[in-house]
Structure 1
């Protein structure tokens, strides 16, 4: 199954659903990252004594994100947050790609990966259930839609969702590999060096 077209890249103001300090950090760094050609997939804060800000990001052109991208994001986001000063003491910054079985945090994610298997965990039960698994059918600002394993379709309220992510399946792996191959071919045609597997950390 192929990934959906690139229209998701042009959705405006489609930030991940964060709250509190995570939402503040996402809103603070997004303008800088957008100007650099990146978009935020997720911001998470781990730890209390020395918190770690984990930023998951995509390239807005859809190409796989590489080590160089992670380093650029780390330096830029770190500089912005040093000025904004969201923490009173020491903190760390980690930047990575979303990975294949990525979290689904934005409307464009649900549109891009429609047709693939996803899991959803609700913070507030929906029709007596907290966990759902099925084929992603898309989303809008209010709900995400899944076709469950029994064939039933549900529209889950996004405001009540705790987390959602893709399930690592053979179809998803094949679709991701095919998409990466298309970008490699385009890079070869333009004599650009393909991106490397991502992972970078800034302390």
Structure 2
């Protein structure tokens, strides 16, 4: 069982999903989590991170997973997009996409994610509408073509309106 599979299985028992895992050279392992039932719109709170951290620490000890320090966090406002379900969930929102290979001399694109067809599998074509030279264009790509993808943060500061 891989590390990601172990973490995914452990988090599923707590009703969380694995968003991403990052390991750094100094032994730090950062695990980003979200609620499995993301439709509820409930954000990840410190209690959620604490519960996941406690369970993962126990599992890592039993499974002999090497690490120096464990951090559990929410994915944040610039959430990474890694799975097909992420693209389906966040369709209509703005994202930064970096492709592995260039398209027309570019690898980086920012635009609005397009709907993903229901029943699509990992080989499905994804879409991003972006503006280039004053005109909207559609970039079609597969999940395997993506090097990195993140949502563009939307800041909504409440305050005095003019």
TM-score bin (small chain): 0.7 to 0.9
Alpha carbons of structure 1 residues 34 and 152: separation in structure 2 relative to 1, 3 Å: same
| Aligned-residue offset at 1:43 | 0.9
Cα pair 2:20 2:33 within 8 Å, conserved: yes
| Aligned-residue offset at 1:83 | 2.3
Identify the structure with bigger relative contact order (alpha carbons < 8 Å, sequence gap 6+). Answer: 1
What does 1:1-203 correspond to in 2, within 5 Å? 24-47=2-25, 50-62=26-38, 63-87=42-66, 90-139=67-116, 140=120, 141-142=122-123, 143-149=125-131, 150-169=135-154, 173=156
Deviations 1:12-42 (A, max 9, x none): xxxxxxxxxxx92211121121111000011
Alpha carbons of structure 1 residues 169 and 76: separation in structure 2 relative to 1, 3 Å: same
Distance across 2 between alignment mates of 1:128 and 1:54: 34
| Aligned-residue offset at 1:130 | 1.1
Alpha carbons of structure 1 residues 147 and 77: separation in structure 2 relative to 1, 3 Å: same
Gapped runs of 5+ residues in structure 1? 1-22, 178-203
Gapped runs of 5+ residues in structure 2? none
TM-score where L is the length of structure 2: 0.80
The structure that is strand-richer by fraction is: 2
CA RMSD of aligned residues (A): 2.2
The structure that is helix-richer by fraction is: 1
Aligned structure 1 segments of 4 or more residues deviating by more than 6 angstroms: none
